[in-house]
Amino acid sequence: MAVLNQLVIGASIGAVLLLIALGLTFTFGQMGVINMAHGEFILAGAYTAYMMQGLVGAQAVPAALPVAFLIAGTMGLILERLVIRRFYGRPLDTLLLTFGVSLILQQLARDIFGAPNVQVTAPGWLTGGIDVAGVQLPYNRIFIMALAVGCVVAISLYLSKLSYGRRMRAVMQNRELAAVTGVATQRVDQLTFFIGSGLAGVAGVALTLIGPVGPSLGTYYIVDAFLVVVAGGLGQLRGAVIAAVALGVINSFVEFWTDASLAKVVVFAVIVAFLQFRPQGMFVLRSRALT
Amino acid sequence: MPRRFRGGLAALCILSTLVAATACAEDPTSSADGGGDSDTIKVGILHSLSGTMAISEVTVRDAELLAIEEINAAGGVLGKQIEPVVEDGASDWPTFAEKAQKLISQDKVATVFGGWTSASRKAMLPVFERNKALLWYPVQYEGLESSEYIFYTGATTNQQIVPALDYLAEQGHQTIFLVGSDYVFPRTANKIITAYAEANGMQIVGEEYTPLGHTEYSTVVNKLQQAQPDAVFNTLNGDSNVAFFKQLTSVGVTAETMPTVSVSVAEEEVVGIGPDNVAGHLVAWNYYQTTEGERNTAFVEAFKAKYGAEKVTSDPMEAGYNAVYLWAAAVEAAGSTDVEAVKEAAGGISIEAPEGTVTIDGDNQHVFKTARIGVVQPDGQIQEVWNSGEPIKPDPYLTGYDWAEGLS
């Protein structure tokens, strides 16, 4: 049942990709801001889980989820107010700036927590797994998949039901028109950035279950996050979900048949080929705006 | 002044100021073989202080600085104090070469202690050979190298990998799965392991490579479970080890059902992985924090006193520490820091190290080391379960083994 196992592995890789890309899809899609510091918000979430260990002990990982959301969200908000807002409409400049911010944050993490990796222990109920018809389902992977699904549901409810969410969609569709109808676009931008970065923090907590917690954590995931966002279409929730799962499954099967390095190459090649035919990504916002 | 001239004049002023500043910065007293002023001897320390390898290399730098501090407190070398110049290789191999060149030409250091990955060493090797400067390389590696300008204080294959394979064979493990990071050390090590396996009736049932910094190991773990080897030989390096062991344990693999022997997981990495995830698995080194001996007790105490009681010591840290002491001893024996004199005097130099007696082998500039196999304990320490008894003579080209013929 290796093939079925790989399918499940593909889904769990997809869940990880979805978590890290979800926040980025909104900040990138909403404001056209290329936030290279997104990986460091993930890092902030991971270190939040590490610090919660001191307070809460074994249940640090689930307890850290809301805390990481707030901390990473606040960091995103500060970044937006201090830096990004001044470079609105200049994507290349924001790219460079946020890259610089990411380097600063990485070194800050090294200075505060030390360069070596730190230990985050998973709670007892997340260790081990179940075996269903020969398919391995570790509890931590199930947790990550559930978390990804939960985040997607929460965000889609937010976008459709809450007035703040609808304003976010309005600004994404047509900024000038939204402003004219009385939506405070700057406020909405701040909120979007807060939520997007907060989601990165949540992803960081989840990643402590399966990977290293060290200052370079963000660099391992940032490229994958951008791949998912670009392939799925900016600001498109459906696109992010489908792109994440598709990339996860492709990666998992190619790796199974060849090896990890080749799998990475193939995934890149697939995305490049896809973008040749559809440069705007899988799903795109259709509006009558002239720009 | 006409406006169009102002820009050019400003540029000229800035340019001439820069030239003047550089000219003033020339140090008229620096000498070719050991910089600094007449009271200090400068040495270079070049490790990754950032990037994926920082988790391992920062502590080696700390151990080397401790050794320098201790030697200075005891009077220094040739009556002069040692002045360390620390540079960051940033886990980027070309940066290692660049910084090495900088340390040699600009800082004019007497020697450099540095490197971790074989990739960084291979990048630095031409720099040291071209400039006829000395590098002390403190990490276990894949052998098949013996540069005249490098001293290797870490284990070569016959002091680490081969004893580990002997131990596995002794324990009755016949089928081995190889997992490694994709660069020169694991690739070469696996060639050696494959040759050993062929000669000793063991079977290699899989060979997987992942890029450095890779953190997604579900597929590799799945392949391991498909193959069901008796043992896994793990040559992963850096953060990948954390992800690998966390994900291996999460599917229920234990050290009883599928033991792994790692050559890049030491006390420092165990902290990052979490002892629960790696307890019971084997590691192959020449030194553990638990190694018995007064010299080791003193070393561990001094390290904890300087850097914090929760710190741990590991083999590469101890090898870096030894490298400084060995260099100092060679300089004293040679009576100068001149590279050729130090190389001449180094053969046969012996010190009491935390791992036991360590002697430089003048033939190949490696050191005699005792091989020790250990098991990771639930408290994060490593307990020795086997050692080779006597320090093993280093044999980087494996000339003493018939099965190794043909390995380049």
- If you write DSSP's letter for every residue of chain A in order, what string do you get? -HHHHHHHHHHHHHHHHHHHHHHHHHHHHHH----TTHHHHHHHHHHHHHHHHHHHGGGHHHHHHHHHHHHHHHHHHHHHHHTGGGGTT-HHHHHHHHHHHHHHHHHHHHHHH-SS-B--PPPGGGSSEEEETTEEEEHHHHHHHHHHHHHHHHHHHHHHHSHHHHHHHHHHH-HHHHHHTT--HHHHHHHHHHHHHHHHHHHHHHHTTTS-BSTTHHHHHHHHHHHHHHHH-TT-HHHHHHHHHHHHHHHHHHHHHS-HHHHHHHHHHHHHHHHHH-TT-SS--------
pLDDT at A4: 87
Of B49, B209, B216, the CB nearest to A115: B49
* B263 & B353 share domain: no
Which domain range does residue A185 map to?
Answer: 2-277
Q: Is residue A286 part of a domain?
A: no
Domain assignment of residue A66, yes or no: yes
Give the integer Cα–Cα distance in Å for B55 and B238.
7
Domain that holds residue B378: 158-291+372-404
Beta carbons of B209 and A261 less than 8 angstroms apart = yes
Query: What would the mean pLDDT of A198-212 be, rounded to a whole number?
Result: 93
* Regions of chain B short of the pLDDT cut 50: 25-36
pLDDT score, position B1: 63
- Top residue of A3, A102, A259 to mutate, by most chain B CBs within 10 Å, is A259
Give the model confidence (pLDDT) of A247-266 as tens digits.
Answer: 999 999 999 999 888 999 99
pLDDT in tens, A130-187: 888 778 889 999 999 999 999 999 999 999 999 989 998 888 888 889 999 999 988 9
Domain CATH for A193: 1.10.3470
The confidence score (pLDDT) of residue B22 equals 57
ipTM exceeds 0.95:
no
d(CA A64, CA B53): 27
pLDDT tens-place string over residues B136-155: 999 988 888 999 999 999 99
How many structural domains is chain B composed of? Answer: 2
Q: What is the pLDDT of residue B37?
A: 55
**B14 falls within a domain:** no
pLDDT at residue B20, rounded to an integer: 66
How much is the pLDDT for B21? Answer: 62
pLDDT at B29: 40
> Quick check: is B34 in a domain?
no
Alpha carbon B81 to chain centroid, angstroms: 25
Please check whether residue A288 lies inside any domain of the structure. Answer: no
How many domains in chain A? 1
In terms of domains, do B214 and B286 share one? yes
CA distance A21 to A23: 6
**Shared domain check, B320 and B198:** no
**Locus of tokens 């202080």:** B49
The answer to whether residue B2 is domain-embedded is: no
In this structure, are B213 and B285 located in the same domain? Answer: yes
Instruction: Give the confidence band of A205 by pLDDT, cuts at 50, 70, 90.
Output: very high
Average pLDDT of chain A, as a whole number:
89
CB contact under 8 A, A5 and B222: yes
Task: Determine which of A216, A219, A224, A258 to mutate to test the interface with B (most B C-beta atoms within 10 Å).
Answer: A216
* Gyration radius (Cα) of chain A, Å: 19
Residue A283 covered by a domain: no
User: What pLDDT does A111 receive?
Assistant: 86
Same domain for B77 and B176: no
- Does residue A88 carry a pLDDT above 80? no
* Nearest-CB residue to B219 (from A16, A110, A252): A252
Residues in CB range of A135: below 8 A, 6 or more apart: A1, A4, A5, A8
Q: How many CB pairs under 8 A join A and B?
A: 131
pTM summary value: 0.85
**Phi, psi angles (nearest 5°) of residue B262:** -110, 150
The domain spanning residue B229 has which CATH number?
3.40.50.2300
Question: What's the pLDDT at A291?
Answer: 58
Q: What does the block give as tokens for B148?
A: 């005249």
Q: Calculate mean pLDDT across residues A221-238.
A: 88
